[in-house]
């Protein structure tokens, strides 16, 4: 089969898996509506919390032009991408194991990495929609600043972030293949990212040694870039440091995670534990 | 095309011992010490129907899962239409259709048609090819009224028909069925067998390997019967051949004689 044909087939399979998840989600309409209003409550809560904590000292720590509400909203909305990136691959693997479709998927002409990649598209798309709803409610009701944002820059930061986070997610799925449950990869990365990634407060308020640790996790670059693009109106040139950091993570993590995943998959076929959970 | 649809040569499969808790965490990769298949060899010709028979744990499902590329054999060589299951799994998967007797093997919130279109696409069929193929399978598989219904609303018997249709979507040369009537009531199982005989076995040339505990099913469908016990192949013969070798009147008696003669081992 020609490479171009194989590429088109793979894209088609990714689309099919996305449409599968969309169709399943569509069959639970009420859950989707609840999601929209749940975001409203979340944004309102952060708005009133931010009015409580705003102070002159805090303003100095934030990027120029940002108040605490907009700072925290970007942090919370985009931190969830990391969470989706970490969970989506092992969640889809676990779901296929539990609903009995994994064996039937694996005897098709589609490799497990393509199945997992296709199964991650809907969660990422849903996350994007949720983020848009968060920011939309924030702008409509609580003065979140949309004008002047560099949306192209934000999109590039988001794309690079998804690639970097996916590398971590594939590592996490590799762990799940071998150990089945209890994932310390997710736990360590999410825990460290929550403390040092700058979700709710700037990295600059951390102790110096923890600021160095923050440079070793991708969410730091992701949130810095996203805030600079949306709140700081940064140009593409100004976003290069954040983008470069994320690209380095993606270039290093993706090949390593694919290699480890292939090894783990082969291991489960040898041990006969592929469908165990 | 090779002479044989399936060819197994001295296939062995060993599993690691089951562990849990701290032992599983500290030693996730154990040595493969538990035998499931021990030197199994046989061939299956194109268009032949072979039944795998044996007690629970005899190795029937392990053998089928090796042939579907879901397991890698520890030693030996297994080929499907000339392709090695360990070295050429993608080519093997192109040749096979696989259906287990499990009830939950579809996306229950999707319709039967949506499920078939998804699996057809994952088997490299285009949208138009998939639609044509589903239309071809609708009448013989009795799927007409089921296609637009969510799978969760279908009876177990209909889910199995759908599973078989899914396995046949890409026109596989070899059909592998693992206890296809396991969860069906006797009437539904009889209907399913009639369906298999009329629609698949009757001159379609599809090679079929199925594992079963139902001896009536084995007698009705199989051209040859492979008897597995404790991972070993004890016999592989026609029904008449098995009866003659065992000097028995029925398949049940033949199996008793064949398995009683087998060496007993403690693991």
Q: What is the ipTM of this complex?
A: 0.86
Count of helix runs (H) and strand runs (E) in chain A? 11, 0
| Whole-angstrom distance, CA of residue A233 vs CA of residue B226 | 72
Helix axes of A236-271 and A218-230: crossing angle, nearest 10 degrees: 140
Q: Is position A52 within any domain?
A: yes
What is the pTM for the complete model shown? Answer: 0.85
Which residues of chain A neighbour B117 with C-beta distances below 8 Å? 16
Of B65, B98, B105, the CB nearest to A101: B105
Report pLDDT for B266.
46
| Whole-angstrom distance, CA of residue A265 vs CA of residue A256 | 14
Reported confidence tier of residue B22, pLDDT bands at 50, 70, 90: low
| Whole-angstrom distance, CA of residue B130 vs CA of residue B150 | 19
| Whole-angstrom distance, CA of residue A268 vs CA of residue B14 | 13
Count of helix runs (H) and strand runs (E) in chain B? 10, 10
Contact between A23 and B150 using a beta-carbon 8 Å cutoff:
no
Element (H, E) at B42: strand B34-45
pLDDT digits over B216-267, tens only?
Answer: 889 988 899 999 999 999 999 999 999 999 898 999 999 998 888 665 554 4
Percentage of chain A surpassing pLDDT 90? 32
CB B247 within 8 A of CB B257: yes
Where helices occur in A180-235 by DSSP H, the ranges are: 184-196, 208-214, 218-230
Contact between A270 and B68 using a beta-carbon 8 Å cutoff:
no
Domain holding A183, by residue range, is 3-271
CB B193 within 8 A of CB B164: no
Two structure tokens written together for A44:
């309102």
CATH of the domain at B144: 3.40.50.300
Instruction: Tell me B110's DSSP state.
Output: S
| Whole-angstrom distance, CA of residue A268 vs CA of residue A157 | 35
Which residues of chain A neighbour B16 with C-beta distances below 8 Å? 271
| Mean pLDDT along residues A128-137 | 87
Quickly list DSSP for B209-248: EEE-S-HHHHHHH-SEEEEEETTEEEEEE-HHHHHHHHT-
Where helices occur in B69-185 by DSSP H, the ranges are: 89-95, 112-122, 127-138, 156-168
Reported confidence tier of residue B119, pLDDT bands at 50, 70, 90: very high
Number of domains in chain B: 1
| Whole-angstrom distance, CA of residue A100 vs CA of residue A104 | 8
CB neighbourhood size of B204 (10 A): 12
Q: Is position B115 within any domain?
A: yes
For the CA atoms of chain B, what is the radius of gyration? 19
Best mutation target, A22, A272, A276, to test chain B (most B CBs within 10 A): A272
The end-to-end CA distance of chain B, in Å, is 41
Report pLDDT for A175.
87
For CA atoms B206, B87, A114, A3, the dihedral sign is: negative
pLDDT digits over B150-190, tens only?
Answer: 999 998 888 888 998 899 898 899 999 988 887 777 877 78
Q: CA-nearest residue of chain B to A12? A: B121
Best mutation target, A6, A20, A107, A113, to test chain B (most B CBs within 10 A): A107
Tell me how far CA of residue A68 lies from CA of A145, A181, B114, in angstroms: 12, 38, 47
Q: Is position A277 within any domain?
A: no
- Residue matched to tokens 């999410």: A190
**B residues 144-203 lying closer than 8 A (beta carbon) to A:** 150, 166, 170
CA distance to partner chain B, nearest, from residue A15 (Å): 10
Q: Is position A112 within any domain?
A: yes
Closest CA to B151 of B178, B117, B174, B120: B117
Q: Is B207 helix (H, G, I), strand (E, B) or coil?
A: strand
Whether residue B60 lies within 8 A of chain A, CB to CB, comes out as: no
Contact between B15 and A9 using a beta-carbon 8 Å cutoff:
no
Q: CA-nearest residue of chain B to A110? A: B122
Tell me how far CA of residue B24 lies from CA of A53, A274, B17, B41, in angstroms: 47, 15, 10, 33
Q: Is position A105 within any domain?
A: yes
Where helices occur in A99-111 by DSSP H, the ranges are: 102-106
Closest CA to A109 of B108, B206, B126: B126
CB B72 within 8 A of CB A270: yes
Residue B11 has pLDDT above 70, yes or no: yes
CB B224 within 8 A of CB B238: yes
Q: CA-nearest residue of chain A to B14? A: A271
For B219, residues 6+ apart whose C-beta sits below 8 A from its C-beta are: B239, B251
Interface of A with B (CB under 8 A): 9, 12-13, 16-17, 20, 23-24, 27-28, 99-101, 103-111, 115, 178-179, 266-267, 269-272, 274-275
Contact between B121 and A12 using a beta-carbon 8 Å cutoff:
yes
CA distance to partner chain B, nearest, from residue A124 (Å): 20
Q: Is position A276 within any domain?
A: no
Number of domains in chain A: 1
Residue B21 has pLDDT above 70, yes or no: no
| Mean pLDDT along residues A188-204 | 88
Closest CA to B121 of B110, B133, B109: B133
Report pLDDT for B110.
93
| Whole-angstrom distance, CA of residue B19 vs CA of residue A160 | 40
């Amino acid at each position: 089969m020609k490479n171009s044909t194989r590429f088109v087939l793979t894209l088609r399979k990714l689309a099919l898996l996305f449409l599968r998840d969309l169709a399943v989600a569509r069959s639970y309409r009420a859950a989707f509506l609840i999601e929209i209003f749940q975001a409203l409550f979340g944004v309102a809560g952060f708005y009133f919390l931010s009015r409580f904590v705003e102070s002159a000292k805090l303003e100095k720590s934030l990027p120029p032009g940002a108040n605490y509400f907009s700072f925290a909203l970007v942090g919370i909305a985009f931190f969830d991408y990391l969470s989706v990136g970490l969970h989506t691959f092992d969640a889809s693997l676990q779901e296929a194991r539990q609903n009995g479709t994994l064996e039937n998927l694996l005897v098709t002409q589609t490799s497990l990495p393509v199945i997992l990649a296709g199964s991650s598209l809907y969660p990422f798309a849903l996350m994007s929609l949720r983020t848009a709803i968060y920011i939309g409610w924030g702008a409509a009701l609580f003065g979140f600043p949309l004008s002047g944002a560099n949306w192209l820059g934000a999109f590039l930061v988001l794309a690079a972030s998804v690639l970097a986070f996916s590398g971590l997610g594939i590592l996490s799925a590799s762990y799940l293949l071998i150990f089945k449950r209890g994932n310390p990869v997710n736990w360590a990365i999410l825990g460290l990212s929550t403390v040092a990634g700058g979700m709710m407060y700037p990295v600059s308020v951390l102790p110096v040694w923890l600021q160095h640790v923050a440079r070793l996790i991708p969410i730091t670059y992701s949130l810095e870039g996203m805030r600079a693009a949306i709140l700081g109106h940064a140009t593409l040139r100004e976003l290069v440091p954040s983008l470069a950091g994320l690209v380095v993570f993606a270039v290093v993590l993706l090949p390593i995670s694919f290699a480890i995943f292939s090894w783990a998959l082969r291991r489960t076929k040898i041990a006969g534990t592929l469908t165990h959970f | 095309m090779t002479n044989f649809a399936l060819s197994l040569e001295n296939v062995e499969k060993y599993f690691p011992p089951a562990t849990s808790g701290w032992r599983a965490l500290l030693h996730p990769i154990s040595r493969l010490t538990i035998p499931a298949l021990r030197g199994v060899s046989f061939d299956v010709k194109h268009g032949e129907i072979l039944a795998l028979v044996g007690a629970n744990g005899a190795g029937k499902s392990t053998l089928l899962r090796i042939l579907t590329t879901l397991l890698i054999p520890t030693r030996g060589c297994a080929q499907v239409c000339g392709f090695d299951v360990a070295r050429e799994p993608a080519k093997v998967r192109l040749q096979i259709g696989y259906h287990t007797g499990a009830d939950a093997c579809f996306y229950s919130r999707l319709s039967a048609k949506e499920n078939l279109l998804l699996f057809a696409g994952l088997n490299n069929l285009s949208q138009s090819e998939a639609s044509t193929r589903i239309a071809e399978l609708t009448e013989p598989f009795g799927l007409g009224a089921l296609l637009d219904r969510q799978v969760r609303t279908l009876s177990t018997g209909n889910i199995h028909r759908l599973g078989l249709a899914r396995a046949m979507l890409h026109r596989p040369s070899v059909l592998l069925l693992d206890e296809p009537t396991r969860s069906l009531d006797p009437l539904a199982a009889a209907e399913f067998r009639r369906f298999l005989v009329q629609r698949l076995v009757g001159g379609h040339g599809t090679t079929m390997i199925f594992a079963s505990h139902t001896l009536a099913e084995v007698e009705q469908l199989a051209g040859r019967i492979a008897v597995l016990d404790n991972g070993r192949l004890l016999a592989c013969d026609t029904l008449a051949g098995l009866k003659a070798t065992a000097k028995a009147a029925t398949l049940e008696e033949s199996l008793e004689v064949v398995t009683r003669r087998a060496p007993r081992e403690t693991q």
